[in-house]
Amino acid sequence: MASKLAALQRWVDEVAALTRPTRIHWCDGSDAEYQALVQQMLQTGDLVELNQQTHPGCYLHRSSPSDVARVEHLTFVCTKEHEDAGPNNHWMDPAEAHAKMDGLFADCMEGRTLYVIPYCMGPIDSPLARCGVEITDSPYVVANMRTMTRMGAAALARIEREGLLSNDSFVKGLHSIGELDPERRFIMHFPEDLSIKSYGSGYGGNALLGKKCHALRIASWQARSEGWLAEHMLIVGIENPQGQTHYVAAAFPSACGKTNLAMLIPPDGYRRDGWKVWTVGDDICWMRPGADGRLYAINPEAGFFGVAPGTSAGSNPNALASIARDTIFTNVAVTADNQPWWEGLPGEPALDWQGRAYDPANGPAAHPNARFTVSAKQCPTWSPKAEDAQGVPISAIVFGGRRPSLVPLVFEARDWAHGVLVGGAMGSETTAAATGAVGVLRRDSMAMKPFCGYHYGDYFQHWLSFDQPGAQLPKIFHVNWFRKGKDGKFLWPGFGDNLRVLEWMIARVEGKAAGVDTPIGTLPAQGELRTDGLALDGAALDELLHVDQAGWQAEAAAIGDYLREFGQRMPQRLHDELQRVASALAGGPRVSAVAS
């Protein structure tokens, strides 16, 4: 096969001349193609068959042990001007980066097949969707891209149609697993020519280029120039007993609860009352203002690449139901009867994620960043609106992170500009989703630190720019499910019970809850957070809703230092907003516990 779009055909020819593959395969996205790839990978050992009685259509991939997560220190944004990438990104001169990468790619596909993957991010007929083409030599990447994107013939048709109208009709992503050598591994982005070059890793966000590289880093750049937002957010629909649904978008850093919140199961009492939760997306949200001034969001992905460890009947039954069949597992353990296993599931592991006989001395049986890849259609709560070409209207935006102390369970920003400050000031403890130390508190503005494809100062300005006459913007909230008590345990039960907090937010959106104003924002007034059926004592709730004035003064000072790191491009509006909060903390009304 080939393409009638000259720009695409020329690029594939150029890449083939550089990488010298033995074969070229244009992916059509069919079942037959997927099955053939699976059979081939079973033969090469790239996939291992799991128990087909208990898990039909499920396979295990064991990645190279030094290739198990995103590599932020090897990820670059290569803009002509260094300043445009911002202090939040690693930068390399584009000419230097191309030369370096082309050196690595030279002849790297000898003896391999070059796969051409046309894909669409978002419903294939959506005006909000965008297309890309990934070239890879990894059949595992092809199989995952088929689940995670709309991949194949329909995407190619859209690319060819749009290619007649514009030179920028698709993002070009070039990927090779290379030698899987961490010393020869780079993830390079060229937002000015909508292209990506990734070498040396086969793992998730490094290799499935539609996901973080395209749908966040490149898309955030495109979104800025075109007036929309590309965000690291889940999208969830909350249906009340009257049958009205509010859509909420929430940004939490990697492995901080997006998949769990997106698939939440209401607590018993809520279920009996008729509350329902609908999953629209679990990782990425593209949104833009509609004709009525509201923000409309699509999930650009078609599947979930979710964290396996901790996924259980208690924490996320919807995820567990989704992955009972037709799922690729990466770096999980297996039981004696060859079922996938990870910490949090009943039973016990026989082999660990590296295929060794399980020995606790070697650490956890499943890698902490072990993942499942599954079609979103398999999720029992998959929203009927998830494939809507126009997207869903967003009522509330939520920011949150892992904050063991200080940050209350929930508060509401007083307006859009304050909300942008709240998102910008976000902090969270690092997780196993990226290589490096785990559990270190760092600033992660809007959960986009690893994913914003340009200068954070410009990004905050772009966020502020949505506040225009006629805009019907969502309310902005901040949550913290991860506050710990003196015993080191989480104070809040989390998971399904997070609906209690969402219910308060929706009541605020509808003007039905009063709240208590504090210098950091509005918290639930006494009795506003529904706690029936919860084993939570009054002292814990007081602590969860307490605003520690001295602690917040220190936090505000730290936020100020952080904002100043972005220099001249940081909007003055955010400095002013922080100043307003700091003054209120210093001299404003006394802050106290607001609930018991």
Q: Report what 282 binds from ligand SPV, ligand GTP, Mn ion, none; CB cut-off 5-8 Å by kind.
A: ligand GTP
Nearest CB to ligand GTP, comparing residues 198 and 431: 431
Q: What angle do CA 543, 549, 552 make, to 5 degrees?
A: 95
Q: Which residue is nearest to ligand SPV (CB)?
A: 205
Whether 386 and 299 have beta carbons less than 8 Å apart is answered as yes
CA angle 165, 166, 167 (to 5 degrees): 140
Dihedral of CA 155/157/158/159: which sign? positive
Site string for ligand GTP, 287-306 (x = CB under 6 A): -------------------x
Site for ligand SPV contains 212 (CB under 6 A)? yes
Interface with ligand SPV, residue 433, by CB under 6 A: yes
Q: Within a 10 A sphere around the Cβ of 594, how many other Cβ atoms?
A: 21
Residues 378 and 325: beta-carbon distance below 8 Å: yes
120 is known as an active-site residue: no
Q: How far is the CB of 315 from Mn ion (least distance, A)?
A: 18
Nearer to ligand SPV, 202 or 204 (CB): 204
Residue nearer to Mn ion on the CB measure, 152 or 210 = 210
Rule CB under 6 A: which of 461-500 touch ligand GTP? 481-482, 490, 494-495, 498
Residues 557-586 within binding reach of ligand GTP (CB under 6 A): none
In this chain, which stretch among 37-45, 91-99, 203-211, 517-525 interacts with ligand SPV, using CB under 6 A?
203-211
CA distance 423 to 427: 9
> Which CB sits closer to ligand SPV, 255 or 516?
255
Which among 58, 131, 256, 452 is annotated as catalytic?
256
Pairing mode of beta strands 23-26, 113-121: parallel
- In 3D, which of 559, 557, 286 has the Cα closest to residue 422? 559
Contact 335, 366 (CB under 8 A): no
Q: Could you say which of ligand GTP, Mn ion, ligand SPV, none residue 212 binds, taking C-beta under 5 to 8 angstroms by partner kind?
A: ligand SPV
Beta strands in 295-361 (DSSP E): 295-298, 303-307, 328-330, 333-334, 340-341
Given 26, 105, 286, 305, the residue binding ligand SPV (CB under 6 A): 305
Beta strands in 381-469 (DSSP E): 392-400, 410-412, 427-429, 441-443
404 binds, among ligand GTP, Mn ion, ligand SPV, none (CB under 5 to 8 A by kind): none
Q: Should residue 368 be labelled a site residue for ligand SPV when binding is judged by CB under 6 A? A: no
283 vs 412, beta carbon nearer ligand SPV: 283
The residue among 303, 223, 265, 504 whose CA lies nearest residue 381 is: 265
Query: In the complex with ligand GTP, which residue's Cβ is closer, 155 or 433?
Result: 433
Q: What is the four-CA torsion angle of 372, 378, 379, 382, rounded to 10 degrees? A: 130
Transcribe 578-596 into DSSP letters.
HHHHHHHHHHSSPP-----
Question: Beta strand pairing status for 171-176 and 130-136?
Answer: parallel
Strand-strand pairing, 328-330 and 285-289 = unpaired
Task: Write down how long the chain is.
Answer: 596
Q: What is the spatial distance between Cα 83 and Cα 78, in angstroms, rounded to a whole number? A: 10
User: Taking the complex as a whole, how short is the minimal distance between the CB of residue 255 and ligand GTP, in angstroms?
Assistant: 4
User: In the stretch 403-442, what mask flags binding to ligand GTP with x, by CB under 6 A?
Assistant: ------------------------------x---------
Residue 254 binding ligand SPV, by CB under 6 A: yes
User: Binding of ligand SPV at residue 205 (CB under 6 A)?
Assistant: yes
Which entry of ligand GTP, Mn ion, ligand SPV, none binds 362, CB below 5 to 8 A by partner kind? Answer: none
Q: Does residue 204 touch ligand SPV according to CB under 6 A?
A: yes
Applying CB under 6 A, the span of 257-265, 377-385, 472-480, 587-595 interacting with ligand GTP comes to 257-265
Dihedrals phi, psi of 263, to nearest 5 degrees:
-115, 20
- Size of the residue set binding ligand GTP (CB under 6 A): 21
Footprint of ligand SPV (CB under 6 A): 70, 204-205, 211-212, 254, 283, 305, 433
Report, as residue numbers or ranges, the catalytic residues: 256
Kindly list the residues in this chain that would bind ligand GTP in the complex (CB under 6 A). Answer: 252, 254-260, 282-283, 306-307, 310, 315, 433, 481-482, 490, 494-495, 498
